[in-house]
Amino acid sequence: MRHEQIYSGYRVGRREGGPNCERFERQIERYYSGICRVFNSATSGLHAGLVAAGIRQADKVVVPAYTMSASASAILHAGATPTFWDIGEDYCLDWESLKVGGPIDCAAIVLVHLFGHHSSVPNWFPEGIPIIHDCAQSPSIRPNGRRRNDVWVYSLNQHKIITTGEGGYVLVWTKRLADALHAVRNHGECFTDDVLGWNYRMTEMQAELGIKEFGELDLRLHVRREWVDETLGELTDTEANWEVNCANRDWFVLPIRYRGDRDAFARRIGGRVGYHKPLYKLPYYAKRHPGLRLPKIEEIERNLVIIDPLI
């Protein structure tokens, strides 16, 4: 009788995991192109993406300082050092200041597509330096096949546009990166002996829900774009300054720059004041980056009001 070797509950031949996880990955691949691996969270996906891209101890990784904490903590978990950078008018990484700052000496960039805004990688940025795209708030971004060393990470957390309660998925263009992602996700048991893996697998129950949720993505994005148009049409206060072109926006939230009494304005429109604190103001980083202030983030933080879609 032939005995099949079993790793972590699945046959060795099952590269992706259980049948629902495989079905979910194929569904995602048909939508975006590229190769997909599903994870138990987007944070796990960010960490796995950094490891798969070859980031190692003492490497420097640039990350915008105006983002959720996982965008930087994943860098630390990979053994690398986060280098905080300022943001531009689109709330994403300030590419111009990065260019002016001199030769690019980082090992990678974690590029956060914040609030549903899409950041375009400029042509001058070296293709050999991998970018880990944090698309947690921008699920309509499709991977760029020109940048084959890049990794795209998406979230399925409970408050995202589509959700499995927790979970995430990662897209890459090469089998080498896909196999490295799988090795990290599955304890390092498969394909390679030189990856120290973690248990980052998505469950079969999550994947079954994800298959149904993913079919709603385009509709939910359309509804959000209509909601933004209607909401902006109702805002007549001349002191408010907002982004009005939503052609390539997912509108995870609607950010408004308001120069006045933000508290009163937020109450009137049903919004809230501000976003997360800049990462360099959190106690963990404040001790390690004393006195760090990034001018654009400081300006935006003083004026930002956010409206959460009630849809």
Q: Answer yes or no: are the C-beta atoms of 243 and 201 closer than 8 Å.
A: no
Domain boundaries, the chain: 6-214, 217-307
According to DSSP, the residues that pair with 162 across neighbouring strands are none
CATH T-level fold of 6-214: Aspartate Aminotransferase; domain 2 (3.40.640)
* pLDDT tens-digit profile, the chain (311 residues): 444 444 444 544 455 568 899 999 999 999 999 999 999 999 999 999 999 999 988 899 999 999 999 999 999 999 999 999 999 988 999 999 998 876 678 999 999 999 999 999 999 999 999 999 999 999 999 998 889 999 999 999 999 999 999 999 999 999 999 989 998 998 877 655 677 889 999 999 999 999 999 999 999 999 998 998 888 888 765 555 555 555 568 999 999 888 888 899 899 888 999 998 999 999 999 999 999 999 999 999 999 999 998 76
Q: pTM score, two decimals?
A: 0.92
* Three-state secondary structure of 39-66: ECEHHHHHHHHHHHCCCCCCCEEEEECC
Going by their DSSP bridges, the two strands 35-39 and 10-11 should be labelled as: unpaired
- Please determine, looking at this structure, whether the domain spanning 217-307 carries the CATH number 3.90.1150.10: yes
The two tokens of residue 74 are 């994943």
Encode 105-114: b = buried (16+ Cβ within 10 Å), e = exposed: ebbbbbbbbb
Secondary structure tally for the chain: helices H, strands E? 10, 13
